[in-house]
Amino acid sequence: MKIFLAQQNYHIGNFEQNTNKIIEAIEAAKKAGGDLILFSELSVCGYPPRDFLEFQDFREKCMQAVHQIKQHADSIGVLIGAPSENRQREGKDLHNSAYFLYEQRIQSVIHKTCLPTYDVFDENRYFEPASSWEVIQFKGKKMAVTICEDIWNLGDNPLYRICPMDQLTQFEPDLIVNLSASPFDYTHIDDRKAIIKRNVEKYAVPVCYCNCVGSQTEIVFDGGSMVFDRQGNLIKQLPLFQEFLDYVVMQQDGSFSNSVVQQNETISNMELQPLQLNEHLGIAQIHDAILLGIKDYFSKMGFSKAILGSSGGIDSAVTLVLACKALGSENVRAVLMPSHYSTSHSVEDAVTLSKNLNNPYDILSIAGIYDRFLETLHPLFRDMPFGLAEENIQSRSRGNLLMAIANKFGYILLNTSNKSELATGYGTLYGDMAGGIGVLGDCYKLQVYELANYINREQEIIPQNIISKPPSAELRPGQKDSDSLPDYHILDKILYQYIELRKGPQEIKDAGFDPALVDRILKLVNTNEYKRNQFCPVIRISPKAFGVGRRMPIVGKYLS
């Protein structure tokens, strides 16, 4: 049996585009002699559709697409993902389902059992879990069809009462098929591979796993679809971060004619998330995930040009390089906005970077604007000392200029804030926190430096001075980040313990961190929730990003 995996990038709610893409893959597989083709979870409408599912018109368009696709499932079996109506009187109105199409008919509809409701997932809001299980008989094989999270519960997951594969094993399946929409983070690729192998080891059945690719606002899907034989050997792995159509050939005895990509390895540790921040981990994949996040945000929103403030600092430099790679240098405009406190080398560094990238740039001094603000405010501020208010006026002046240019010329403003700054509130609302999408908002400062080094791995694109000089917002004479924040080598490690690992203050102190510093940092994180609540979407690259995956009360008292 020749089985195709269609790793595709869908646009949520774009039924015409998604349907055409699915049909093109079906026709290509048929032309190549395919027997079966797999698509990913909710492929018809795109994942995650969220509250679009509450619209009857949206649900009807999903079914219209399914019926259109089934006309092409004549000589080939097709497994696609779409919502289906819950015909029981109790429970949610919908199931998250896999439709098996063959001979131009809907032969079977399989419902998802394990509905994730954690981090970026909220499926219990919309879907009813499966309450019965069956295999699909096709060309002499029994297929156990599962959907994404279903294979993550092997009977030892406390989040779920039922393990669907335990139910399906009674039918003695020949093949496990999984339609997935599994998001990227820098630990998840190995984690995903490990969980598939655990299914193979437990059930002694080969697995065909089809994951989607593409970015949906803040969530990046990396693809990496895989096929494992019953011995746990990796038979096929599709590329990361790109659409791809490929196949395996399953023999009558359940083996594959494809050569082994990777021999079976014993899984010794399923706890693949590091217990300490490792800023080097997965940096190439983080780089590629952010590129995809930028590309898809612009293409799916119908925009082509970006603007950002270029300060001569590491964050704006890395953002500018990534944006130029994603959108083309000619489509990214950098604006240098020096003030009274900007150093000459910062301007020179920013100019050198834009010349290296060949992107358009402008230099607009905010010194005069800043002076007029102080002049206007003088009757209120009088002879009060220079402080945070004056610093923030500079940042907000820059934000106003950037948004004015964006509005005038149809740009999208890229935000350059990093995760360390967002965590501690080291940013100005309506100033340097403005933007349509946060490019580095899920990267700690140490990871930003690693991205810069990765970008420069073959030639110096980012001037070395940008990488080596002490970071500074340059909002007052001689200012450095270290005046307000602990050294990033300490700060980022404490933040990782609190945000990614969800460790309490005493646990972090017991790990050897200075107690007073832990209290100070955690208080900064919690008291600045109001700022993050007003922040733009952040491209997610970690196991716990700010935004939809981390929901904290603004007025909470915990640790404040």
- The CA-atom distances, in angstroms, between 174 and each of 38, 171, 250 are 16, 9, 10
Residues 58/45, Cβ–Cβ less than 8 Å: yes
Annotated catalytic residue, options 21, 30, 41, 419:
41
- 219-229 per-residue burial string, b: 16 or more CB within 10 A, e: under 16: bbbbbbbbbbb
Cis link prior to 48 (omega < 30° from 0)? yes
Say if CB 49 and CB 12 are below 8 A apart. yes
* Cβ-contact 123, 17 below 8 angstroms: no
Show the tokens assigned to 138.
């096709």
Whose tokens are 């990614």? That residue is: 500
**Greatest CA separation for the chain:** 87
Return the beta strands (E) in 432-538 as ranges: 437-438
Q: Which of 30, 61, 112, 236 is catalytic?
A: 112
Asked if 148 is an active-site residue, the reply is: yes
d(CA 477, CA 528): 25
45 part of the active site = no
Instruction: Kindly list the strands in the beta sheet with 207-211, ordered across the sheet, starting from the edge strand earlier in the chain.
Output: 136-138, 141-147, 175-180, 207-211, 226-228, 234-237
Question: Is 141 annotated in the active site?
Answer: no
Give the active site residue among 45, 62, 114, 148. Answer: 148
Contact 117, 124 (CB under 8 A): yes
Residues with a known catalytic role: 41, 112, 148
